[in-house]
Structure 1
Amino acid sequence: MTSSASPPTVQGAPGPVFAQGVPGWLSLLLGFLTAVGPISTDIYLPAFPAMEQSFHTSAGNVQFTLAIWFVGLAIGQLSVGPLADRYGRRMPLLVGNVLYAVASAVCAFAPDITLFSAARFVASIGASASLVVPTACVRDVVSDRAAGARMMSRLIMVMGVVPILAPMLGGLVVEFVSWRIIFWASAVYGLVCVGLVLWVLPETLPYQKRQSLSAMTLLTRYVGLLGDRSYSIYALITAFSTFMSFSYLTAAPFVFVQLFHFSPLHFSMLFGVMSVFMIGASQVNGLLVGRVDPARLLYGAVVLSVLGTVLMVGVGVWGRWYAPVAYRPYEVWLVIGAMVIALAPTGIIFPNAMMMALADHPAQAGAASALAGTLQYVLGALAGVVVGQFAATSSLPMAGCMGFGALMMLCMHTFRPALHDVA
């Protein structure tokens, strides 16, 4: 839907959405809404073998549904962001979550992989609203970068709790009942989000700040954002952070289950532990923002991630060619330790880089958040493709791809605009 008309004009400057300061429950609400994307990605992974049998199809066709999900998220975010800048934050969230709920219900009773894949694509388009709009809401209600990064850290904590539990819950569902229950539960989650947006979430974008929308305006807006050096650098930092994280997500099941012989339960526990470290880092970030310059925090976290991936590569090389047989059992613990050092800082990298990317674009926060999110999922999907080209005979492919993402973050930070340099 496109329109070149300007939004309605209201006399007077808009007042703050929350006259007495941003309430603490807003972070909980936005985090719950944003978690739609991560939980929908993770929760059905343990169901792949059961879906393959149920649909009488190949493992590749089932795995392709995950790629379809990522493609839909990337496309949907590009569309939802400008719509949120034109029509406000609540309407895209309502429509998106209704679409997600209905499509998830179709996934639940789909008789074949073709209908399932089509419904999964539609669900991802709907879910993209919950990935874009909450971040724009943060920019709407908080203009100060330090306060915004602090709020983003709280949001990450909330949205991170659900993905910790998602793989374990999905595994339990597949173990005791049908995999289709996962998608009925997803439909209910979407309906709960609709209710929260209807009755709890206020509109954070006043009419005076809404942007016109047309095909040419949309193209110009995205080109302008990409041409903004500050925005592009920090958006790419979040994207390469996602590349590093998705390299881990794609390779870890093969590395730890096939190479290090973890049971599915033990792997789920490891997945949860890694998520706890990332969420913990985001809360440390929330405590430090305001006391330490966000650019300094970001640089320190990026350097720490680079160090962790270098250690992972070193451990992989040692384990594959130089480790005595008697010491091979210790390799897994060294890999896990280095992985914590590499991944935990993403809890600091994401909120600071995202708020710096959005800082100079308050009137286009929806489009700016959408473009950054699209870059993240495009690079995340690319990470999955690259890692999938290597056999899981060692931890080196995972370490190498994670290292590439970390080094690219460091390169991006090196070319950041002088305006954000640490004094």
Structure 2
Amino acid sequence: MPRKIPALMPSWLVLMGALAALGPLAIDMYLPAFGAIAQDLQAPQGLVERTLASYLLGLAGAQLLYGPLADRYGRKLPLVAGLVLFTIASLGCALSDNIYQLTVWRIVQAFGGAAGMVIPRAVIRDYLDTQEAARALSLLMLVMGVMPIVAPLLGGQAVTLGSWRTVFYLMAAAGVALTWLTTRNMREPLAAELRTPLAVSTITANFWLLLRHRGFVGYTLAGGFGSAGMFAYISGSPQVFIDIYGIDPRWFGLLFGLNAASLILAAQLSARLLRRHTPLKLLLHAQISLVLMTALGLILTLAGWITLPLLMVCLMGFMASQGFVNPNAAALALAEQGPRLGTASALMGCLQMLCGALSGFAISLWHADSPLPLTTLLTICALLSWVASRLAKPPVLRAPI
């Protein structure tokens, strides 16, 4: 029987938020360390930036493994295994002697962190229907959204007080803490009779059915292209803020945090509005804002009128729009996937991370003395997100109460 979310966020949902935040932690925390890594490992800036894109590719591929595993063995066992792998790989990153070792360990780290991307979404849908799941995913951003604010600040201080390796030691400590909390507090939500066989034919059939499902693909790509814009921002923001506008790396996290705060506040507003409006209505309206804010940034850049305050306005508008797009698109994509929730969550995460990795590679290859690469990619991603949602087939949802 689907639950309703109480006024106070339940402890199981807080834990799911912390687990889902592990992947963003590994992305955001080391951004201020890019320069230090390049200097210490004597590597070009582009190769350091590509460690992020490599991490995203690892997340994309690994999620395809965790979905079927979570449908076969339950949610808890694959999650704990992923957390252990993440912890070991974080230590490997900290001990890397060159950029190539770091890149390999980042991919291994992604294979561990992917468990926190896939399984919490499946757990939410185990407990909640589509309307409540959209609210839960919005509330989850309150927990996840703190990470983009805290992580770069913490990473910047770690680099200042220690070295870039300290950042990865802190990631390993987070992995240990979450492993302990999950082992101690998480209850298995998937009953034994609901588990599906781990057979190639079953897995292939489930993936094929999902790829043929117009609603799943459309809303997954709507969220995926929006996330691609976020990853373009994450990958490109150190160069834009630090190199182009001369922001001290210690204060990079503050600007990063303002944009993350926009995402958090908008997601909480989305959770409240879902009491009266459907996820589809909120998604379609938010995507109009997404396109307008990114297009404004591109026009200002092309006209030569862009300044740091104007860029921040456009970026905060983009992130606020994403606070509506991400949770509602995810809930709509998973709306009709009950028998294969783990696999659906995995494929959704994979497609979205592939979009993010491609945008991350694109921003690492295109350097300029203005924010033009960033504003251009954000606009392209926003337009593609808008198109994808318009091509999707809306699921049948109950009216909000």
Q: TM-score normalised to the size of structure 2?
A: 0.93
**Could you report, residue by residue, the CA deviation over 1:255-293 in whole angstroms, capped at 9, with x for unpaired residues?**
233333322234321100000010100000111112112
Distance 2:299 2:45 in 1: 33
Counterpart residue type for residue 375 of structure 1: L
Q: Is the 8 A contact 2:50 2:364 kept in 1?
A: no
Where 1:202 maps in the other structure, the secondary structure is coil
Q: Which residue of 2 aligns with 1:341?
A: 317
Distance 1:42 1:182 in 2: 11
Q: Is the 8 A contact 1:296 1:422 kept in 2?
A: no
**Could you report, residue by residue, the CA deviation over 1:101-126 in whole angstroms, capped at 9, with x for unpaired residues?**
12212222334444433332222111
Where 2:94 maps in the other structure, the secondary structure is helix
Matching of residue 207 in structure 1 with residue 207 in structure 2: no
Q: Which residue of 1 aligns with 2:373?
A: 397
- Summarize the alignment of residues 94-109 of structure 1 with structure 2, pairs less than 5 Å apart: 94-109=80-95
Matching of residue 40 in structure 1 with residue 26 in structure 2: yes
Distance 1:421 1:407 in 2: 26
Computing the radius of gyration from Cα coordinates, the structure with the larger value is 1
The change in CA–CA distance for 1:26 and 1:58 in structure 2 (over 3 A counts) is same
Q: Kindly state the Cα deviation for residue 405 of structure 1 after the two structures are TM-superposed.
A: 1.1
What's the % identity of the aligned pairs? 35
Consecutive unaligned residues in structure 2, runs of 5 or more? none
Counterpart residue type for residue 33 of structure 1: L
Q: 1:66 aligns with which of 46, 52, 58?
A: 52
The change in CA–CA distance for 1:48 and 1:339 in structure 2 (over 3 A counts) is closer
What value does the CA root-mean-square deviation take over the aligned residues? 2.4
Distance 1:158 1:29 in 2: 9
Q: Which residue of 2 aligns with 1:83?
A: 69
**Could you report, residue by residue, the CA deviation over 1:119-145 in whole angstroms, capped at 9, with x for unpaired residues?**
3222211111011000100000002x2
The change in CA–CA distance for 1:271 and 1:16 in structure 2 (over 3 A counts) is closer
Matching of residue 136 in structure 1 with residue 122 in structure 2: yes
**Could you report, residue by residue, the CA deviation over 1:390-416 in whole angstroms, capped at 9, with x for unpaired residues?**
332222322221111111121112222
Distance 2:320 2:332 in 1: 20
Q: Is the 8 A contact 2:138 2:268 kept in 1?
A: yes
The change in CA–CA distance for 1:117 and 1:282 in structure 2 (over 3 A counts) is same
Where 2:358 maps in the other structure, the secondary structure is helix
Distance 2:397 2:335 in 1: 15
The change in CA–CA distance for 1:120 and 1:386 in structure 2 (over 3 A counts) is closer
Counterpart residue type for residue 390 of structure 1: W
- Summarize the alignment of residues 176-325 of structure 1 with structure 2, pairs less than 5 Å apart: 176-318=161-303, 320=304, 323=305
Q: Is the 8 A contact 1:46 1:171 kept in 2?
A: yes
Counterpart residue type for residue 342 of structure 1: F
Matching of residue 362 in structure 1 with residue 338 in structure 2: yes
The change in CA–CA distance for 1:221 and 1:304 in structure 2 (over 3 A counts) is same
Q: Which residue of 2 aligns with 1:119?
A: 105
Matching of residue 416 in structure 1 with residue 401 in structure 2: no
Q: Is the 8 A contact 2:139 2:268 kept in 1?
A: yes
Q: Kindly state the Cα deviation for residue 40 of structure 1 after the two structures are TM-superposed.
A: 0.6
The farther-off stretch of 112-121 and 269-278 is: 112-121
Q: Is the 8 A contact 1:258 1:392 kept in 2?
A: no
Q: Is the 8 A contact 1:17 1:204 kept in 2?
A: no
Distance 2:330 2:378 in 1: 20
Matching of residue 147 in structure 1 with residue 132 in structure 2: yes
The change in CA–CA distance for 1:208 and 1:56 in structure 2 (over 3 A counts) is same
The farther-off stretch of 279-288 and 98-107 is: 98-107
The change in CA–CA distance for 1:49 and 1:241 in structure 2 (over 3 A counts) is same
Consecutive unaligned residues in structure 1, runs of 5 or more? 1-14
Q: TM-score normalised to the size of structure 1?
A: 0.88
The change in CA–CA distance for 1:296 and 1:333 in structure 2 (over 3 A counts) is same
Paired residues in the alignment total: 399
Where 1:388 maps in the other structure, the secondary structure is helix
Distance 2:26 2:12 in 1: 22
Counterpart residue type for residue 249 of structure 1: I
Matching of residue 175 in structure 1 with residue 160 in structure 2: yes
Q: Kindly state the Cα deviation for residue 232 of structure 1 after the two structures are TM-superposed.
A: 0.5
**Could you report, residue by residue, the CA deviation over 1:280-307 in whole angstroms, capped at 9, with x for unpaired residues?**
0000011111211211111111111111
Counterpart residue type for residue 294 of structure 1: P
Distance 1:415 1:154 in 2: 27
**Could you report, residue by residue, the CA deviation over 1:142-201 in whole angstroms, capped at 9, with x for unpaired residues?**
02x221111111111101112211111111111111322222221121111111111111
Q: Is the 8 A contact 1:236 1:412 kept in 2?
A: yes
